[in-house]
Structure 1
């Protein structure tokens, strides 16, 4: 599947009537697992990218180069369309433009650009936003940096929980006016907030987390939410499993007594062992003697 095919698939989801849950992915194996389990799209979050690549918390230490390279590894491993959290675009509007170019080249199906002030400002403990005008400039730069018109660019704001619902609506409307393909909204605490944003805009909505009362995908679909995130539990589960396994080995547990290890069958499936052996036979003459 070409990069454009992946992007068109993401666009079909955004233009469709349903709300889907993406699979949280962060490396070559996790994206293949998501693909094999039938997820329609993967979500590569900024927080999980920082954890997987650097082992650092989500405080904007990962660089554009590191993020794009990890995306490139996943694009090679699987044709699953991936939506990338590109944070603030790694700088000002010109940096945003380059961020779009790099992630497009790395095979991302779509990306989000947010209006959070990142990195955190000196002396400011609370999350801050850039001005609406600067946010609009970043969205315009993102669209200008796009070489493939099928790449999905989303304008993201968390204003609902940082400033006010009215500010979130104003920002959503302004970003929509720039021509972005969808709106990515975080910090929504109640149905009335989502409904107000949906009523004020026309673009597909991606919801970045919500309270339990908003877990019904049919309700979300009625509010034009086409993708609803569900956190990054896969990375958390993998970390727990690795920790417990190493701890057991360190404490002297025999290898044969370890629980939860991946089977040889599943490993072969995820590494595409059969296909690779076929290529070895074709190109290296193996198995012909």
Structure 2
């Protein structure tokens, strides 16, 4: 299986959608994606809290479950790395052992605040963030394990501050840079400043909503696109409609008369036939 590092080095940009469990990972693989992303924000929302409440070990456990269901390279939303530079030693070690091929680390304060989710950022000193990146790079065991350095500073402190932070993170050895912005002129400024590959996170709805195509990504030096929202919103909408229909005793508007077909598709995604075949060969003879 090709590593994420190799994918980013050549070929088209890599698109990694959000997954939260093995079933979603399997379905993303069946859909033809080449990489997947375990998001912290979405994981927190699934427990009706935020990513600020998530621990390193529970994210690594989720990574193990996802990795057991799919062979796709998996990216970890590592939030703030779960601590200071010293704490990165354990964070990187566990992330690698859990099977992740990359970790995204951002420059927000610890503990993170829920205000991040409404666009209000609290960032640490640039030098402190650079130290965290430098330590993460130094302690990784595999050269194929990628460190994605992220700054959210543009939203509160302007592009110049974000670029200065990114320069320090690049000097610290980051493999990819992610400056959180969706403004075209800011994306162009980032592309002109750095030789490193860049990560981009489109708004909910994906690249179509952002109005970007493959040619745009190439021009902006974007090598990794992560959609951390759309699958969660689609799942939330589907469940809302399903529960409302069940409460009213009405047909599910999404499944409708295709219940048998959807049940068959679900069992295919799960791989039930493979498990049944094992039982036929062993305990069901």
TM-score strictly above 0.5: yes
Distance 2:267 2:249 in 1: 28
The answer to whether structure 1 residue 186 and structure 2 residue 185 are counterparts is no
- 1:244 paired residue number: 241
What do the CA deviations read for 1:63-112 (whole angstroms, capped 9, x no partner)? 11111111111011111111111110112112222211111111112111
What do the CA deviations read for 1:182-206 (whole angstroms, capped 9, x no partner)? 112212423x222222222111100
Distance 1:263 1:120 in 2: 39
Any stretches of 5+ residues in structure 2 without a counterpart?
none
Superposition pairs of residues 115-264 of structure 1, within 5 angstroms: 115-120=107-112, 126-190=120-184, 192-209=185-202, 215-253=212-250, 259=256, 261=259, 263-264=262-263
Cα distance, 1:123 vs structure 2: 11
Tell whether the 8 Å contact from 1:16 to 1:226 is kept in structure 2 after alignment. Answer: no
* Number of residues of Structure 1 aligned to a counterpart in Structure 2: 277
The answer to whether structure 1 residue 76 and structure 2 residue 89 are counterparts is no
Distance 1:213 1:233 in 2: 12
TM-score normalised by the chain length of structure 1: 0.86
The answer to whether structure 1 residue 105 and structure 2 residue 97 are counterparts is yes
Residue number among 44, 56, 68 corresponding to 1:64 in the alignment: 56
What do the CA deviations read for 1:205-260 (whole angstroms, capped 9, x no partner)? 001236956512211112210122334222222222223222322333478x9627
TM-score normalised by the chain length of structure 2: 0.87
What do the CA deviations read for 1:8-39 (whole angstroms, capped 9, x no partner)? 52112211242233222111110000000101
The answer to whether structure 1 residue 279 and structure 2 residue 278 are counterparts is yes
Cα pair distance change 1:213/1:37, threshold 3 Å:
closer
Distance 1:214 1:201 in 2: 23
After the TM superposition, which parts of structure 1 deviate over 6 Å for at least 4 consecutive aligned residues? 121-125
Q: Name the Cα RMSD after superposition.
A: 2.7
* DSSP-derived class of the 1:263 partner: helix
The answer to whether structure 1 residue 42 and structure 2 residue 36 are counterparts is yes
Tell whether the 8 Å contact from 1:64 to 1:99 is kept in structure 2 after alignment. Answer: yes
Cα pair distance change 1:254/1:178, threshold 3 Å:
closer
Cα pair distance change 1:123/1:56, threshold 3 Å:
closer
